Chain A
Amino acid sequence: MDEVLVVRELSAGYRGRAVVQGIDLALRRGGILGMLGANGSGKSTLLKAITGQIPLTSGSVVVDGIDLAAAPERAKAGFGLAIEPHELPPPLSGRQYIELVASIRGCAPDDLPRGDLLERLDLGRWIDRPIAEYSLGTRAKVAILAALLGKPPLLIFDETLNGLDPVAAWEVKRIITALCATGRHAAIVSTHVVEAVPALCSRAVLMAGGRLARRWDAAQLAEAGRAPGAFEESVMQALRRQAAA
């Protein structure tokens, strides 16, 4: 099965009010989907719906062939989500958090894409301290590490890469690219760093007003990535069109 995520006619929101509507999305193994959009456009809500944190008002989410509504635990085994840094358990140390996630996923705490990831992310001196003492960037690194545990088929990063220092961001992007290049994994990267998308992603979507306002396929992204600023210009045009409509 090639498709690791299939979202059909998804609507979801809070307290019965739909924030995202009519979302159709499919992601194949090997693909990296960049998710763009202004604050409040519905990116995080969509990712919360895909990861089973809020109920769907309509539509369906299928992760690695398993319907999220029908078998939530099995479907959740199919993705690794980098939790928002402020939602990590503050009393636990980084190592304990990794052990917690590993025990849930049924894998070893060192079952990571690279054996030296802790050192590469410069986490060694922090890993045995309580998360409460971490900076935002260090928390983001731990959250990313936990998402990569067990190498799940779908990796989801909701603006987590934004808080990383340049070296860590470069390492994480390299790992995502390498994992997806194997053809066994796919990734969704929600970000505000528009210029990073053509270099990292194979596809991109722009969210506006709770809907998918624009899509870019691999060829369009490659084309936009050739000229400096071309992709940003393309995103801004789409946003202006959306605002005018």
Chain B
Amino acid sequence: MRHDRLVLILLWRELVAGLRATRRRDLGWIALGGGGLLAYAIADVVLALHGAAAKLRHDQLLWVLGVPVALAVLGALVGNAMSGLSLQRAYAPFLKALPLSPDRRRRMAGEATLVLGAPLALLVGVSASFTCAVIEKPLAPAWGLGAAMLFATSYGATALWRLRRPQHLLDETGSEAAPSGGPLLHRFDRARPSWLSSWAWKLPGGHLRPSWRLAAACLVFATAAILCAWASLAGRTAGPAAVAGLIGGILVFMLSLRCQPLGSPVLRTAPIGFTRVWLRLVQLPLQLSLAFFLLPAGAALAAEPTAWSVPMASGLWLLVLNGAYAVFGAYFLNAPFVASLSFASALAYAAYETLEYGRTVLIGLAVLVFFLWHRTRQRYRNG
């Protein structure tokens, strides 16, 4: 039947439309700049692997536990993302009126997930095999095959689990129109422009919807903060709590920042500038981030009062990193996951290169942040 590959066709059309919508100059920059950067990164990784080849070859823990766990986690994450992508197309609103049964939709999504997974598994296998060859580990092709199989198993299991319960897609759309609880943000969301955070967080009528995901996230963050505070107090050292405050603070900020209203004509045709809207969108996530930071930072100060500069520096870095991520979040306004991934990659790459080239790389990162902010501001003003 013609619609057997409907999900794949939709994904392909979206990719083509996305490429066509991108200006040729930008495509050139992405291909040349991104390609060059990738080639440089591969060369750098190969050199680093060569340097540490002997140690890597004989690290039993790495090969028995580290690599398999990393591949399984990677497979699960990618499988979850790809099946989600396919399910969203299979259950797209414009397909609702078509005579397609839920089983047929699941099958279409499953086929697309499978087709997307095959080249990814191949890529993982080739990369693993290549890495083993670089560090001269015996049986490199077998390691590559094993890596691909492990990745594919984890990918397939996660995708299957998600494809079996696509009803969450329908539940989400249904619950958007079913507010419950009180308008929790009422007091916090009245600053000018009013209700912007409720809009950004997609809270129907400003009502917070309790969910297992939200409860689990709160529990994880609270446990991590308490454990690190306890570690600092028990060891009488500011380090663990200060680091936990910094990492937890930026994670809270990244998870809570949403900037999609920046692309809406509601704001773009209104007498309000980009900076004001951007600062307003950042306001509540920043408050949440700092609220999280206070417990570990207080514990760090109590554990080692003479080292007050440690939590202070941690707080300043938190502000700087939050500011930088706020720019990434605004640039990738409709794709918070891409924003997080890009920010984490840019930060990791800058940290790695800083070891080699010093602080010049940090200046490069600052220039990148400023460039993204400028482009986002231009887009807000001119579309």
Interface residues of B (CB under 8 A from A): 21, 23, 176-177, 179, 192-196, 198-199, 201-206, 261, 264-273, 381-383
Contact = CB atoms under 8 A, between A and B. Distances in A.
Contacts of B383: 48, 53-55
A91 interface: yes
Nearest to B261: A89
Q: Which label, helix, strand, loop or mixed, suits the secondary structure of the A interface? A: mixed
Q: Give the residue among A51, A54, A88, A93 with the most B Cβ atoms within 10 A.
A: A93
Nearest to A72: B381
Nearest to B23: A15
Contact of A88 (B23, B194, B266): B266
A76 B199 contact: no
Contacts of B264: 87, 89
Contact of B193 (A51, A77, A100): A100
Given A92-B195, A100-B194, A132 B204 contact: yes
Interface in A50-101: 51-55, 72-74, 76-77, 79, 81, 83-84, 87-93, 96-97, 99-101
Given A53-B265, A130-B176, A100 B199 contact: yes
Contact of A103 (B192, B203, B381): B192
A165 interface: no
Interface of A: 15-16, 48, 51-55, 72-74, 76-77, 79, 81, 83-84, 87-93, 96-97, 99-105, 128-130, 132-133
A178 B213 CA distance: 53
Given A89-B264, A130-B205, A55 B382 contact: yes
Given A52-B381, A89-B266, A91-B203, A96 B198 contact: yes
A52 B268 contact: yes
B192 A129 contact: no
Contacts of A102: 194
Contacts of A128: 205
B193 A103 contact: yes
A99 B269 contact: no
B254 to A, nearest CB: 21
B199 A89 contact: yes
Contact of A81 (B177, B206, B269): B269
B170 to A, nearest CB: 15
Given A15-B21, A83-B266, 4 more contacts: A91-B198, A93-B206, A100-B196, A103-B194
A73 B271 contact: yes
B269 A51 contact: yes
A87 B202 CA distance: 14
Contacts of B195: 92, 96-97, 99-100
